[in-house]
Amino acid sequence: MSNNRSLKWKYYTRNQDYVEKRVKKGKYDCVSTTGWGNFDGFFGFLLKLGFFSLFDFRPEKRQRIMIPLIKLLSTYSLKVILSLSSLNQISNQLFKEKSLLKYIGFTGRELTKGFSKRSKGKQLPFHITTLGKMLKDLSLEEINKIFSIFFALLAKCHFIPKGTYAVDATDLSVEEKSKYENKGHTYRMKKNKSGYRLISIRYVGEKGPEIFVAAILFPINENESKYLLPLIEQAQRNIGKDKIKLIVMDRIFLGGNKLWDLKHEYGIDFLIYSKSNMDVTDEMKKRGEEVKKRQEKGLPLDEDTFIEKDKEFSAIGFNHLSWFWTYGDEEHNKKWKRLQYKKEKKSRTNYISGVLITKYKGKERQPGKEITLLSNRKISKKRTPLFLVFLYRRRQGIENQGFRELKQGWHLGKFPGKSFSAVLFHTLITLMLYDAAACYKTEKGERLSDMGIRALREKEIGPFYGVIVYIGNYFGVFDLEEFLYLIGKPPTEFINFRPP
């Protein structure tokens, strides 16, 4: 290429109205196709998973249904996938993308004429208030059943990982004066808050998709610690009793009897941040001081103490800690209260293990300000102190990559109605679609997606192709049917698409 020759890039700006007027006059430069290819794969995956079959039932409160529930709730699923923050956006944005609606079973006639004469000249294929009212009529039992059956679909395709899970909670706030059903009020971080609190369990291991497997929604003023064991029960119902091997938790869930039951009733190990005012925390710090003195004198450590460090972290692990007085069953706690009343402290307690973190992320912790963790599992050469530090750091993912992404990208806190049923349905359907997306991103998910796409094409519901029209420095995007109308060549009849 000659050095004197220069290339000039032509930048286009979208101007839908301008392009539409020019197309009607038959004046446009060029046309190309575009498609929802990114949706092809995901919808193929959902189809193969059997996701939309979850909505194939009749709500108990509805005796007469003009529009099949599966189409209403599948439409709401599209709203979540497309990251639409309100029901009004369904009419303005989603209903214009007819190809997506065809994926979930809408026919050409329904999209053009609606489900009844009442729809004529109004929002098509149905008025959006119909969806809002339907969500209100769903019972809590029906919503939770959808959530539970969803995991049976994941399990059937072997998407439920085994190993380490984390439990955490987050606020879902609403306006203080709003009339949301069952909301709570609290004063936290020097602010008044109204709304709900969501507690959930999420996989944080390294051998599977990071999916949420259980969730409970309750008023924001209630303490989440009382929901820990009910949440564990729900998780085991959803995914089985053999999947959760270890639960990583924040100190809000500290309670000796609950932790004891977690291991002895549900068979799950735990790793939890301990509180600074606990006797067992003082015990670790005192034993840490003893370790320092022994090192200064060149004395060996006892068999219950393990030291490990690298460039970023330093930690001391201890077995047989004995100052966690409430760690035991109900009978143990009753007995200990009697002994405590008598000021008797020589009675045997149930041992627990702990980690004293003296350097964290390259910064030395001041004496008395160390980070402390508790675990029911003994520390050993295989299960080292730094290994437990690594596991605990995995808990941060549920807040940073989990709840934050759900709120910002999936509009978790943008509810479609003020009834508790609508709030709960939105919360659980968002978690379900987040899980589906996480599974879709795996190699197994891609294989299932390919199978689903082939099934779609066999049913002649191929990928959507739209049209991009270029005029000068402007372009517009239209679906094929709309483009045919603009150029004066409308279709002569409707095509009846079969639902996937």
| C-beta separation of 367 from 358 below 8 A | no
Overall residue count recorded for the chain in this entry? 500
- Quick one: pLDDT at residue 191? 86
**What's the burial of 15, exposed, middle or buried (CB within 10 Å: 0-12/13-18/19+)?**
middle
- Quick one: pLDDT at residue 481? 72
Which residue in 357, 345, 348 sits closest to 318, CA to CA? Answer: 357
Residue 340 dihedral angles phi and psi, to the nearest 5°? -65, -40
Cα separation, 116 vs 114, whole angstroms:
6
Q: Would you write out the chain's pLDDT as a tens digit for each of its 500 residues?
A: 334 433 333 455 667 788 888 888 887 766 665 544 555 678 888 888 989 888 877 676 655 566 778 888 888 888 888 888 888 888 878 887 776 777 777 777 777 777 766 555 566 788 888 888 888 888 999 999 999 999 999 999 999 999 999 999 999 999 988 999 999 999 887 889 999 999 999 999 888 899 999 999 999 999 999 999 999 999 999 999 999 999 999 999 999 999 999 999 999 999 999 999 999 999 999 999 999 999 999 999 899 999 999 999 999 999 999 999 899 998 888 887 777 655 555 667 899 999 999 999 999 999 889 999 999 999 998 999 999 999 998 888 777 778 888 888 889 999 999 999 999 999 999 999 999 999 998 989 888 887 766 666 555 444 455 677 878 777 777 777 777 778 877 766 544 443 33
Which residue in 141, 155, 267 sits closest to 211, CA to CA? Answer: 155
| pTM of structure | 0.80
Which are the contacts of 221, defined by CB distance < 8 A and separation ≥ 6? 184, 185, 186
Q: What is the DSSP letter of 343?
A: T
| C-beta separation of 121 from 210 below 8 A | no
